[in-house]
């Protein structure tokens, strides 16, 4: 029984260790990550003062304990994402989340 508990605790620490922070500071980075798959605990941070063009349509789901977070970093005005009404696979959405759970959107 003790070995099972140690293994279980070890798995929790391993799962938390694989969270990634993505800092999107320019249009090139936005284009790279705008349709990427993210995992529980990941943080997607947009540079304050920047303007990004196109739909942001990530995939993946977080968990209740480790949501996927979208937020801002740096100083200045909040970042702006212009969907620009340019249809692509997401239609006209600026932010498009489909069949995704446990996302937290700030700023």
User: Considering the chain, what is the average pLDDT of its residues?
Assistant: 84
How far apart, in whole angstroms, are the C-alpha atoms of residue 14 and residue 62? 16
Residue 49: pLDDT over 80: yes
> Strand pairing partners for 91?
88
- What is the reported pTM? 0.79
When mean pLDDT is compared across 39-43, 73-77, 82-86, the lowest value belongs to 82-86
Residue 2: pLDDT over 50: no
- Structure confidence at residue 85 (pLDDT): 63
């Amino acid at each position: 029984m003790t070995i099972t508990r140690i293994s279980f605790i070890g798995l929790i620490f391993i799962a938390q260790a694989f969270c990634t922070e993505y800092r999107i500071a320019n249009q090139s980075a936005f284009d790279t990550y705008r349709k990427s798959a993210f995992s529980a605990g990941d943080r997607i941070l947009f540079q304050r003062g920047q303007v990004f063009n196109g739909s942001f349509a990530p995939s993946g789901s977080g968990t209740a304990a480790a949501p996927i977070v979208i937020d801002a970093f740096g100083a200045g005005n909040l970042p702006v994402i212009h969907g620009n009404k340019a249809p692509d696979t997401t239609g006209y959405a600026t932010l498009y989340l489909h069949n995704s759970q446990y996302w937290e959107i700030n700023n």
